[in-house]
Chain A
Amino acid sequence: EVQVVESGGGLVQPGGSLRLTCVASGFSFSVFEINWVRQTPEKGLEWVAYINGGGNTIYYADSVKGRFTISRDNAKNSLYLQMNSLRVEDTAIYYCAPGGLKYFDYWGQGTPVTVSS
Chain B
Amino acid sequence: DVVMTQSPLSLPVTLGQPASISCRSSQSLVHSDGDTYLNWFHQRPGQSPRRLIYRVSKRSSGVPDRFSGSGSVTDFTLKISRLEAEDVGVYYCMQGTHRPPVFGGGTRVEI
Contact = CB atoms under 8 A, between A and B. Distances in A.
Contacts of B47: 109
B100 A59 contact: yes
Contacts of A45: 49, 92, 94, 103, 106
A108 B48 contact: yes
Interface residues of A, number: 20
A101 B50 contact: no
Interface in A32-48: 35, 44-47
B39 A44 contact: no
Interface in B83-109: 92, 94, 96-97, 99-106
B49 A107 contact: yes
Given A44-B105, A44-B106, A45-B92, A102 B97 contact: yes
Contacts of A46: 103
Contacts of B106: 44-45
A79 to B, nearest CB: 15
B50 A103 contact: no
A107 B44 CA distance: 13
A102 B92 CA distance: 15
Given A103-B54, A104-B94, A104-B96, A47 B101 contact: yes
A59 B99 contact: yes
Nearest to B49: A107
A31 interface: no
A95 B101 contact: no
Contacts of B60: 105
Contacts of A95: 48-49
B61 to A, nearest CB: 9
Interface of A: 35, 44-47, 59, 61, 95, 99-110
A-B pairs with lowest CB-CB distance, top 5? A102-B96, A45-B103, A102-B37, A107-B48, A47-B101
Given A47-B101, A105-B54, A107-B50, 16 more contacts: A35-B101, A44-B92, A44-B104, A44-B105, A47-B102, A47-B103, A59-B99, A100-B96, A101-B101, A104-B49, A104-B51, A104-B96, A104-B101, A106-B51, A108-B48, A109-B48
